[in-house]
Every structure is written in structure tokens, then in C-alpha cells.
Amino acid sequence: MLGPLIGFAVVVSLILLAAWIVSHREAERRDRDVEAAQRDARQVGRDQPLTQHPQIEVARCVGCSACIQACPEDQVLGLRNGVAVLINGSRCLGHERCAIACPVGAIEVGMGALAQRDDFPRLTDRYESSVNGVFLAGEVTGVALIRHAIRHGITAIEEIAERTKGRNGNRGTYDVAIIGAGPAGLAASLKAKELGLRCRTLEQDQLGGTIRHYPRQKLVLTQPVELPLYGTMKRHEYVKEELEELWEGVVRDHALDVRCGVRVASVESAGEGFRIATNREPVEARHVLMALGRRGTPRKLGVPGEDLAKVAYRLIDATRYRDFRILIVGGGDSAIEAALGLAAQPGNRVTVSYRKEGFFRLKARNEEHIEQAAKNGRIELVFQSQVKEIRAADVVLDLDGRERELANDFVFVFAGGEPPYPMLRQAGVAFGSA
């Protein structure tokens, strides 16, 4: 009787041992893959986060991989040695789905040590800067998602409303002047209207801010969010044109005082408030909310011919360009998305000029698509090159001392922008840790 039981126990033990060996080898393979992915990310500079990112409390992580499955971006997180690790930190957009999915609360999405960098303004939890009465919202704070920008704008206006209760000011002085009419600025404008504040919003370009610069029909990811006086933006995805129509509708329907084409030169203290100098009439307000993007004014190349009409710094509608010879300058996501959009149009010959030896910090899908387009011959990639001169019918590239002339009809420059830091510092806003 005992013999068969011992035999059965041995068989079960062998099965369990075999299962453990298979599982152990699979874990080792996974660890090697994640280690290789981390090494690749370090080599191209994608490992370091640019702004908000997952911060993992290793002691609490149970290695369930729920955070990895929840993240909508590619390979931000991985599992190594049984705990979650950061792989491509620069790809994190701050969705926070990883933190929500974690069953043990081992992940927090935030700025972490990045908040001490000298290109991030110092803010309170109500988004007030080091200057009393000057608030910041949106991309300039270091976060990118629309829902975060909207929350910033609303929170700042709620604080301003508390401070203005029972106070009467000069008729010509606004309770708040909002600089920027992107998601943060427009949400703040709506909240100010809802709370009865006297408000004027100034925008150097058009309604929508950074969204206006996206290629036509580009998907903008968001999450359901409450917009003052409008209600819930229920969907998880909107295309650019839908958001533009939404912004224009709320401005019209609620008679918001938004002035487009107004460029702010400076913000200075004046009496109990601030005086804002612009390319038009000055504006006086008790409080200022700077709802600005981090890119600011497009950065120029500084080469002969850059003032020609065929040079542009953003692509609005790729379908307008057909049968043209086009040069894209830059290697970021905006440049690659523009190149792909233009290459999809009939008859276009698209060339991408990038000063580095390869692309860095691209979103995974953009990297995959541009490599495939180059392999198929739809786009030519010219690395380690810089524009030397732009002429009416061609462009001269400098390839490490060698010149190459490209026949050309249009040039799109995606070299980033001049951030609004000088204006912020001139207003007294402090950066980095205290």
C-alpha cells in the first residue's frame, strides 16, 4: 500500500520540479530581455524621464505586472528580478494608469527628483509660483496630459476666487489675466466665468495652444474629465479637429473674453496686482495665470534663406501637399509624424535631415513606422546632417564637411522652441528646489 503512494508522490514531485524549472527559465529569459531593453534605452538616452514618470517602491512591489499591462505607451515599464522597473522613462506621458492598476500602491506618478531641475518652476500645491499672485498651469509646470492641464487651471482659479471674495477693485483691473488659451487656459477661463471673476485671456496664436500645431487628424489621448460650464469630456480619445471645435464652441457659447494674436512681452508688479505689457494695449490684473507651453516660440535654424515662404515650422494639413519634394528638419516625434503624414500623400518625395546619428526618445510606434518607411523607400533619412542654406529650388545640407544639394519645394523645421523661461524669470518666478 505504501509503495504506490510513494510512487505517486515521486511523480507529483517530478511534475512540480519540471514546472518550476520551466517557470524559472522563463523568468530568467524575461529578466535578460528587460535588462537588454534597459541597456538599449540607456544607449539612446530614452531611459531618463523628461517630466512626470512612475516612481516604484520596490519593497512593496509584488511583481504582478498589472502596471505594465495598464500602461498605454510602449515599454515604459518592465518586470525584472520579480519587481517593476523603469525602461524607457522618456516615453511616460503621465497617464497614471500604472498607479491606478497597482494592487498594493507601490507606484506613484510624479516629478520625483526632476522637480529640482532648474527648468521646472517652483510651485505650491495650488500651482502658485514663488511670486505671490502669479500662478502656472499646463505644460510649463512639467506635465503633458490634457486632463492634468485642465486640473491645474481649475485649481488655480479656485484659489484666486477665494482670495478675491468681498474685494472691490478698479473697474479697469481684472481679477485674473490668463496667458495662453490651450486646454489649461481655456479650462481656467471657463472656471473664472463660472465663479464670477473678471477675467481676460490672452493668446499669442489661436485657440487650442499646442493642439493647433498637431498634424491633421492626430489622435490626442485623454481621460474623462470635467470641464467647467461644459460638462464631462467622456471619451478617451479625441482627434485634433474635434477638440478645436469643442474649444471654439465653449468660447462662443459662454462669451469668454479671449483675445487671440496678443503676444505678452512682460509681466511686472504694479500696486496690488500686475501690469502685463503686450503687442497691443496693456492689461492690469490682481492675479496672473500663465497657462503656457514649454516649447514657446519656434526655434529657428539661423541659416541663409530661412525667411523664404516655402519654410514652415508646423504642419497643419498634410493632404495639401502632393507631388512635392519636401525636407523635414528634426528627429523628434513631431518631425517624424509630419514626415510620415507627408510621405503618405501621392507623389511626395520626403527627406528627413537630423543632426544626430540616429533617432532618440521617439515613441515606439513612430520609431517602428519611420524605420519601415525608410526600408520601403518612402522616406530618405539623412543622419549627421545640418541645413547650411535654403534656396528657392533646393537646399544645401552639410554632411560632416561635405555638401549635398537637394532639389526642394518645401522645408518643415521641427527644431523645438524657445521656452518662455526668460519671461517667467523676469516676472520673478523661481525655478528648481528651494
Q: What is the DSSP string of 62-110?
A: ----HHHHH-SSSSSEEEETTEEEES-GGG-----HHHHH-TT--EEEE
Lowest model confidence (mean pLDDT) among 2-11, 23-32, 322-331 = 2-11
* pLDDT computed for residue 269 by the predictor: 92
pLDDT digits (tens, 9 = 90+) for 78-102: 988 888 999 988 888 777 889 899 9
* pLDDT computed for residue 406 by the predictor: 96
Identify the residue with better confidence: 9 or 24.
9
* pLDDT computed for residue 363 by the predictor: 79
* pLDDT computed for residue 10 by the predictor: 66
CA distances from 73 to 78, 312, 355, 361, 413 (A): 12, 30, 26, 13, 26
Q: What confidence tier does 169 reach under pLDDT thresholds 50, 70, 90?
A: low
Q: Where are the beta strands (DSSP E) in 248-321?
A: 258-260, 264-270, 273-278, 283-290, 297-298, 311-312
Question: What pTM does this model have?
Answer: 0.71
H helices present in 230-381, as ranges: 240-253, 333-343, 364-375
pLDDT at position 1 over 60: no
Output the average pLDDT for the chain.
Answer: 86
* pLDDT computed for residue 23 by the predictor: 66
Beta-carbon-side half-sphere exposure of residue 247 (alpha carbons within 13 Å): 26
pLDDT at position 393 over 90: yes
Q: What confidence tier does 249 reach under pLDDT thresholds 50, 70, 90?
A: very high
Stated length of the chain: 434
* pLDDT computed for residue 410 by the predictor: 95
SS3 (DSSP) at 149: helix
Contact call for residues 296 and 423 (beta carbons, < 8 A): no
Helix axes 240-253, 183-194, angle to 10 degrees: 20
Q: Find which of 64-68, 305-309, 316-320, 378-382 is predicted with most confidence, using mean pLDDT.
A: 378-382
* pLDDT computed for residue 340 by the predictor: 94
Contact call for residues 191 and 137 (beta carbons, < 8 A): no
* pLDDT computed for residue 256 by the predictor: 96
* pLDDT computed for residue 192 by the predictor: 97
SS3 (DSSP) at 333: helix
In this prediction, what percent of the chain has a pLDDT beyond 90?
46
Measuring CA to CA, which residue among 266, 295, 258 is closest to residue 181? 258
Average pLDDT over residues 174-178: 96
Tell me the domains of the chain and their CATH numbers.
Answer: 43-110 (3.30.70.20), 134-297+419-426 (3.50.50.60), 311-416 (3.50.50.60)
Average pLDDT over residues 393-415: 94
Contact call for residues 60 and 104 (beta carbons, < 8 A): yes
Average pLDDT over residues 144-171: 86
* pLDDT computed for residue 233 by the predictor: 86
Average pLDDT over residues 327-345: 93
Q: What confidence tier does 17 reach under pLDDT thresholds 50, 70, 90?
A: low
Residue 179 sits at φ, ψ, to 5 deg, of -105, 110
